[in-house]
Amino acid sequence: MDVEEALEFVDHLALTTTGKHLDSLQKAILRGAWDNQKYKEIAQHHNRSEKYVKEVGFKLWKLLSVALEDEEVCKANIREKLQNWRFSNISCFGKDYIQIGSVSAETLHSLKISQPEPQDKDRFNEKTSNSEPEVHLDLADAPEPNLFYNRTSELTTLENWILGRTRLITILGLSGIGKTALTLQLISQIQHEFDYIIWRSLRNSPPLASLQTDLIKFCRGGVPVPAPSLSAPYPEERASTGGLPLLEYLRSHRCLIILDDVQTIFSSQQLAGNYQPGYENYGAFFKQLTESSHNSCLILLSWEKPREIAALEGENRPCKSLQLNGLGPEAQEIFREKGLAEPEKWSALIDLYRGNPLWLNIVATLIQDLFGGSVSEFLSYDTLFLGDLESLLHQHFDRLTASEQQAIAWLATTPESADISKIPENLQLSPPELLKVMQSLGRRSLVETVKQNGRSHFTIGPVIREYITNKK
Ligand SMILES: Nc1ncnc2c1ncn2[C@@H]1O[C@H](COP(=O)(O)OP(=O)(O)OP(=O)(O)O)[C@@H](O)[C@H]1O
Ligand SMILES: [Mg+2]
């Protein structure tokens, strides 16, 4: 077996197991390991950080360990392992069928290995596969992908929206619910739909002009934007792009732009989705990108829904939003990974913490630290223990207006769900004010709507209830 045969074999194995071909970095790692190269050399040659290459390599060996039913596959022995397997176990090795020892293609597929898709973090221009068109990726601003469970239906919805040429997608949800993780997974699935993919976080609140310059620079292959084209567009640009130079690039290439942490450009102590002074032009930018004709897509990840989205979105419109809820039973994997005891109690824990993966991770660590992994001991306390969640929730509550705080405190004291047609006297809000406030709390994913006898009632989750009760 030479290195090319090994690559073909492992690629086939990866495809059968995960549904995805090896990407260029995984191939480079395999080639490097075959030639006894160090991770450092592979990283230098491939223009990546050594840490990242090691991580991708580690995941690849893990995948091969499961696929080859051999726990000890690693960089040092991969060549030997593959050569041994080639002679002793592979009964048929071709394009359509693979049988490795007792492990068939179907068995491998059913193993459902959770293999986070390695993302191109450091490279600017890269061919991601020999047969696929070139995709230019800049994910330097995105976090590393991590373990990822399920979200199949959300991924299908997002993929359909993208294939259906939706121009603006907003993914909404509380901190930790998994907006960033979901979008990283989405990119790995749809990257070949696009010529350019760029991820930017708005955590440092960049003014729109500098964000636009940055995005255009990327779409120009790293060539800086001539100053006049941004501040005073050339006449022909002005006519066709409505004063938005980026539009020219979104028309000539299919680009995917992801803006993360969008809530940072909204004001605190104002109703949800109100821009900070100086950032109002973002609203016009989102509107223009939705209404102008182009084949690109902008994805916003936010705690709060931008105000204009509500007016722009619709089933047959190119603007959609996805309210991200918690994970279902698949969240049990988080507890399995953390080594918690009593699996029969895990679903109660998932319900209480609304399937929020970050909250579940925090709580699982807490149960390990304080109760030696015993979920029933943790659940035996009358009050819900929040621990490190308090500071996370504080970031959300810090943003509320005084009226929102009043309304949510009322919901916290209402045991089941509240009927807003029956406003209590101590709540000094008129019916129209209360409606506005409830809408805003909904746009912040803090309030849930339930139907009772055909009427909408409002409620809050147990964690939020506990937080507000403790605050008093
Ligand atoms: N589907 C999932 N399976 C396993 N872990 C997940 C999943 N989704 C998210 N996580 C984990 O939960 C944590 C929070 O996820 P993520 O950062 O994507 O949340 P977020 O909604 O982007 O939060 P924020 O608004 O604060 O940025 C991360 O550690 C992530 O790896
Ligand atoms: Mg995030």
284 shares its domain with 140: yes
Q: For residues 31 and 89, which has the higher predicted lDDT (pLDDT)?
A: 31
pLDDT of 199 over the 60 cut: yes
Residue 197 CB–ligand 1 contact under 6 Å:
no
Q: Tell me the best of 358, 360, 361 to mutate to test the pocket of ligand 1, counting ligand atoms within 8 Å of each CB and taking the most.
A: 358
Q: Which amino acid is at 322?
A: L
291 shares its domain with 221: yes
143 shares its domain with 266: yes
Give the Å distances, CA to CA, from 356 to 319, 328, 332.
Answer: 26, 9, 12
94 shares its domain with 199: no
Question: Token pair for residue 305?
Answer: 């829904």
Is residue 9 within 8 A of residue 1, CB to CB? The reply is: yes
Residue 213 CB–ligand 1 contact under 6 Å:
no
- Residue 120 within a domain: no
Which residue has its alpha carbon closest to ligand 1 atom 8?
178
Domain coverage including residue 83: 3-110
Q: How close is the Cα of 260 to the center of ligand 2, in Å? A: 6
pLDDT of residue 225: 66
- Ligand lying nearest the CA atom of residue 174: 1
* Residue 275: strand pairing partners: 266
Cα distance between the two ends of the chain: 70
User: Which of 428, 418, 430 minimizes the C-alpha distance to 458?
Assistant: 418
303 shares its domain with 333: no
- Residue 25 within a domain: yes
pLDDT of residue 102: 38
Mean pLDDT of all residues in 441-455 = 91
211 shares its domain with 355: no
Q: How close is the Cα of 184 to the center of ligand 1, in Å? A: 10
Question: Token pair for residue 243?
Answer: 């004063």
403 shares its domain with 335: no
**Secondary element (H or E) of residue 323:** strand 319-323
Mean pLDDT of all residues in 198-214 = 95
252 shares its domain with 351: no
Residue 142 CB–ligand 1 contact under 6 Å:
no
Domains contained in the chain, number: 4
Question: In which band, very low, low, confident or very high, does the pLDDT at 266 lie, cut at 50, 70 and 90?
Answer: very high
Which residue has its alpha carbon closest to ligand 1 atom 31?
146
* Range in 29-43, 72-86, 247-261, 358-372 the model is least confident about: 72-86
pLDDT of residue 260: 98
pLDDT of 104 over the 60 cut: no
Q: How close is the Cα of 142 to the center of ligand 2, in Å? A: 9
- Ligand lying nearest the CA atom of residue 176: 1
CA-CA-CA-CA torsion sign (99, 100, 103, 107): negative
- Residue 438 within a domain: yes
Residue 173 CB–ligand 1 contact under 6 Å:
yes
Residue 176 CB–ligand 1 contact under 6 Å:
yes
Write down which residue in 110, 144, 172 finishes a domain.
Answer: 110
Averaged confidence pLDDT in the chain:
84
Q: How close is the Cα of 135 to the center of ligand 1, in Å? A: 26
CATH number for 441: 1.10.10.10
pLDDT of residue 220: 82
Q: How close is the Cα of 75 to the center of ligand 2, in Å? A: 33
CATH number for 150: 3.40.50.300
pLDDT of 127 over the 50 cut: no
pLDDT of residue 116: 38
- Residue 115 within a domain: no
Q: Tell me the best of 149, 177, 184 to mutate to test the pocket of ligand 1, counting ligand atoms within 8 Å of each CB and taking the most.
A: 177
- Residue 207 within a domain: yes
Q: Which amino acid is at 275?
A: Y
193 shares its domain with 136: yes
pLDDT of 240 over the 90 cut: no
Q: How close is the Cα of 161 to the center of ligand 1, in Å? A: 22
Q: How close is the Cα of 326 to the center of ligand 1, in Å? A: 10
Residue 180 CB–ligand 1 contact under 6 Å:
yes
Q: How close is the Cα of 110 to the center of ligand 2, in Å? A: 30
402 shares its domain with 374: no
Which residue has its alpha carbon closest to ligand 1 atom 4?
148
Residue 326 CB–ligand 1 contact under 6 Å:
no
Output the DSSP codes for 215-226: HHHHHTTTPPPP
Mean pLDDT of all residues in 81-96 = 52
- Residue 184 within a domain: yes
170 shares its domain with 244: yes
Write down which residue in 44, 78, 110 finishes a domain.
Answer: 110
Residue 335 CB–ligand 1 contact under 6 Å:
no
Half-sphere exposure of 457 (CA within 13 A, CB side): 16
Residue 149 CB–ligand 1 contact under 6 Å:
yes
Which residue has its alpha carbon closest to ligand 1 atom 5?
148
Q: Tell me the best of 55, 141, 144, 146 to mutate to test the pocket of ligand 1, counting ligand atoms within 8 Å of each CB and taking the most.
A: 146
User: Which of 48, 50, 204, 220 minimizes the C-alpha distance to 139?
Assistant: 48
Q: Cα(426)–Cα(34) distance, rounded to whole angstroms?
A: 73
- Residue 198 within a domain: yes
Question: In which band, very low, low, confident or very high, does the pLDDT at 71 lie, cut at 50, 70 and 90?
Answer: confident
203 shares its domain with 335: no
Q: How close is the Cα of 168 to the center of ligand 1, in Å? A: 22
Atom of ligand 1 nearest to the CA of 356: 12
Write down which residue in 80, 110, 140 finishes a domain.
Answer: 110
Residue 148 CB–ligand 1 contact under 6 Å:
yes
Crossing angle of helices 462-471 and 402-413, in 10° steps, is: 110
Q: Cα(437)–Cα(234) distance, rounded to whole angstroms?
A: 44
Sole residue written with tokens 């986070």: 116
pLDDT of residue 347: 96
Q: Cα(114)–Cα(330) distance, rounded to whole angstroms?
A: 12
Atom of ligand 1 nearest to the CA of 357: 12
- Residue 211 within a domain: yes
Q: How close is the Cα of 147 to the center of ligand 1, in Å? A: 9
Q: How close is the Cα of 223 to the center of ligand 1, in Å? A: 34
